[in-house]
């Protein structure tokens, strides 16, 4: 049974709440960590955000996000890299050990996956030095292949490991159950990532059989079909001792009172992992 003290919440899970509201709700429910999003942090300022979180007793367990290099096209390369560096700076100001990194989908006006992948890879390589010197690990998150066109041309843990092989120090992997559960090689790839010291974050949510939206209808752990127990065991067996980070994009759950949702999250995590 999962120790509830290892549960942290990714702030997107309570997207309707401001940072002060989220911190208050998490702390009141006995949650020990938060992974904040940039827009919510910038609404109060990074320094004030850090103080607010520290005073509540929560740990900053990550930060969202850096990357999306391809989104504005090749001409915006320098701007996108600067944006990623700025996000890393904010993560450092918050005292976050890592930053979630999503590489972006196809380039605008191009159907070439090769072109998008090599562009995103080069941008990431050019960001990484800044992350290293800031002491913030980039947590490369491969997304489910259904998000290839718009969010991530990096799909699957084996690809993420291949990129990390070439990128060297300062980069790890965020394993998100919603994105990688379908992969026949997922447990072996988790073991490989662990052996290479790359397991940086573990994001959990569930895949509902009857989903209303592939982007905005994720389930609370236990609400769907993912074998979370096996994935959590694979992470633990691979040496991961970090947080179990609940990350739920869901219009349905966002509309609920946060306290009820957080109670369901804790019960779901404890019962499924
Ligand atoms: Zn995630």
- Are 104 and 69 in contact, with CB atoms under 8 Å apart? yes
pLDDT at 209: 95
Output the CA 26–ligand 1 centroid distance in Å: 19
User: Residue 242 has what DSSP assignment?
Assistant: S
Per-block average pLDDT, block size 10, for the chain (273 residues)? Answer: 96 98 98 98 98 98 98 98 98 98 97 98 98 98 97 97 97 98 98 98 97 95 98 98 98 97 98 97
Output the CA 143–ligand 1 centroid distance in Å: 8
Output the CA 110–ligand 1 centroid distance in Å: 26
Output the CA 139–ligand 1 centroid distance in Å: 10
pLDDT at 260: 98
Which residue in 55, 58, 52, 64 sits closest to 19, CA to CA? Answer: 52
Which tokens go with 236?
Answer: 């633990």
Which tokens go with 138?
Answer: 């980039």
Output the CA 257–ligand 1 centroid distance in Å: 22
Q: Strand locations in 89-229, DSSP E?
A: 98-102, 137-140, 171-176, 199-204
Cα separation, 240 vs 260, whole angstroms = 29
Output the CA 77–ligand 1 centroid distance in Å: 24
Output the CA 203–ligand 1 centroid distance in Å: 5
| Residue 3, number of CB atoms within 10 A of its CB | 10
Output the CA 174–ligand 1 centroid distance in Å: 7
Output the CA 141–ligand 1 centroid distance in Å: 7
Largest Cα separation within the chain, whole Å, is: 50
pLDDT at 85: 98
Q: How many Cα atoms sit within 13 Å of 12 on the Cβ side?
A: 21
The CA distances from residue 73 to 78, 130, 250, in Å, are 11, 22, 29
pLDDT at 231: 98
pLDDT at 203: 98
This prediction has a pTM of 0.98
Output the CA 247–ligand 1 centroid distance in Å: 6
- Are 214 and 184 in contact, with CB atoms under 8 Å apart? no
Which residue in 85, 115, 77 sits closest to 101, CA to CA? Answer: 85
Q: In this structure, are strands 199-204 and 137-140 parallel, antiparallel, or unpaired? A: unpaired
Output the CA 221–ligand 1 centroid distance in Å: 14
Backbone torsions φ then ψ of 86, nearest 5 degrees: -65, -40
């Amino acid at each position: 049974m999962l120790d509830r003290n290892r549960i942290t919440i990714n702030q997107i899970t309570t997207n309707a709440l401001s940072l002060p509201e989220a911190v208050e709700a998490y702390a009141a429910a006995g949650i020990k960590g938060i992974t904040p999003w940039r827009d919510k942090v910038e609404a109060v300022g990074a320094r004030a955000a850090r103080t607010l979180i520290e005073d509540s007793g929560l740990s900053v367990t990550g930060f969202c996000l850096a990357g999306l290099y391809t989104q504005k096209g090749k001409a915006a390369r320098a701007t996108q890299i600067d944006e990623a560096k700025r996000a890393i700076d904010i993560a450092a100001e918050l005292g976050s050990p890592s930053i979630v990194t999503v590489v972006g989908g196809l380039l605008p006006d191009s159907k070439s996956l090769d072109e998008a992948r090599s562009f995103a890879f080069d941008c990431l390589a050019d960001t990484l030095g800044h992350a290293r010197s800031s002491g913030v690990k980039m947590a490369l998150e491969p997304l489910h292949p259904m998000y290839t066109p718009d969010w991530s041309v990096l799909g699957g843990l084996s690809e993420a490991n291949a990129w990390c092989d070439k990128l060297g120090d300062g980069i790890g992997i965020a394993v998100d159950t919603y994105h990688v559960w379908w992969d026949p090689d997922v447990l072996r790839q988790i073991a490989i990532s662990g052996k290479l010291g790359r397991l940086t974050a573990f994001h959990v949510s569930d895949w509902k059989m009857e989903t209303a939206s592939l982007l905005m209808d994720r389930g609370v752990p236990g609400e769907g079909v993912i074998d979370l127990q096996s994935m959590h065991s694979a992470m633990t067996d691979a040496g991961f001792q970090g947080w179990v980070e609940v990350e739920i994009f869901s219009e349905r759950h966002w509309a609920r009172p946060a306290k009820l949702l957080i109670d369901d999250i804790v019960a779901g995590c404890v019962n499924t992992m």
